Amino acid sequence: TAGSSSHPEGRTAVVQGEGADDATPGEARPAAEARVPVQADPVREAQLRRQREAATSAARKKRRDGDRERSGLRRSVLVEAGVAVVVLAVTTVLTTTEPGRTEEEAAAGTSASAAQQQGPVSLNVPFDTGGKDGKGTVLLDVDPGRSGDNALHVYLQGPDKEPLDVPEVKVALTLKAQDLGPLTAPLERISAGHWSAAGVQIPLAGRWTVAVTVRTSDIDQVTVSKNARIG
């Protein structure tokens, strides 16, 4: 019939529209995959936990170090303040006591020096005239050992430390700094090996040269000398 479509008998027409699936005839379309929940990874969780713990520990350490530095600074300031107080106290004590101690030491030194100068002067001088029994030692004492009147005692000893008797002994004193002398002392024989002089005048204090002449025979004699502070 006109205006109508005729199809062969026993066949069915398949019309594909736009957007239809390109599936092969007779092939079944696969079903949509179901969403499977993601399971937690224990290794990853442990890593994250360690990272969080490390960050927390670092923050605590930073705060603790800051507190320690501030505490150390406070202790340092306190120690410095204490040292300053001690130094100030010691300085004050030394400042107030040093002049007195210096005066005491000066006075003690002056007294000791005066005592030394006022004490008797003793000399020990060996001699050798070169002759028989010409060796010995002169022991000389100046008493009181200061300017003014003094007594001289001269002792002669042989090598055996026994008194040595000789024919003659002389003593002369010279103060070279003042171009004074020689001043002779009038010695007298007191006993074997002992000679003495009284009232020997020493006009000035100073470093005197004491010369002793010993004669052991008519031709053997020697002069020995020694310096001594007198006065």
Peptide bond before 144: cis, by omega within 30 degrees of 0?
A: yes
Least confident of 1-10, 129-138, 150-159: 1-10
Minimal CA–CA distance to 154: which of 199, 176, 131, 185?
Answer: 185
pLDDT digits (tens, 9 = 90+) for 199-218: 999 999 999 999 999 999 99
Q: What's residue 181's pLDDT? A: 87
Q: What's residue 61's pLDDT? A: 79
More confident residue, 3 or 125: 125
Over range 146-168, report the average pLDDT: 94
Over range 41-70, report the average pLDDT: 80
Which segments of the chain are extended strands (E)?
121-128, 135-143, 148-157, 168-175, 180-185, 188-191, 194-202, 206-215, 221-230
For residues 61 and 135, state if they share a domain. no
Domain that holds residue 176: 121-230
| Residue 105 DSSP SS3 | helix
For residues 77 and 99, state if they share a domain. yes
pLDDT digits (tens, 9 = 90+) for 3-24: 444 444 444 444 444 444 444 4
Task: Mark which of 118, 144, 173 sits at the end of a domain.
Answer: 118
What does DSSP say about strands 135-143 and 121-128: parallel, antiparallel, or unpaired?
antiparallel
- Decide if 160 is inside a domain: yes
Minimal CA–CA distance to 188: which of 147, 151, 225, 135?
Answer: 151
Task: Mark which of 58, 90, 118 sits at the end of a domain.
Answer: 118
Q: What's residue 171's pLDDT? A: 96
pLDDT at 166 over 50: yes
For residues 135 and 211, state if they share a domain. yes
Instruction: Describe the strand order of the beta sheet including 180-185 as a list of residue ranges.
Output: 180-185, 168-175, 206-215, 221-230
- Decide if 15 is inside a domain: no
Number of domains in the chain: 2
For residues 60 and 105, state if they share a domain. yes
Task: Mark which of 103, 118, 133 sits at the end of a domain.
Answer: 118
Percentage with pLDDT > 70 across the chain: 64
Q: What's residue 93's pLDDT? A: 61
For residues 134 and 163, state if they share a domain. yes
Contacts of 226 (CB under 8 A, 6+ apart): 123, 125, 209, 210
Alpha-carbon distances, residue 118 vs 10, 158, 218, 229 (angstroms): 170, 30, 39, 10
- Decide if 139 is inside a domain: yes
Burial class for 228, CB neighbours closer than 10 Å (0-12, 13-18, 19+)? middle
Output the domain CATH number for residue 153.
2.60.40.1930
For residues 131 and 180, state if they share a domain. yes
Least confident of 24-28, 86-90, 95-99, 140-144: 24-28
pLDDT at 117 over 80: no
Mean pLDDT of the chain: 77
For residues 98 and 111, state if they share a domain. yes
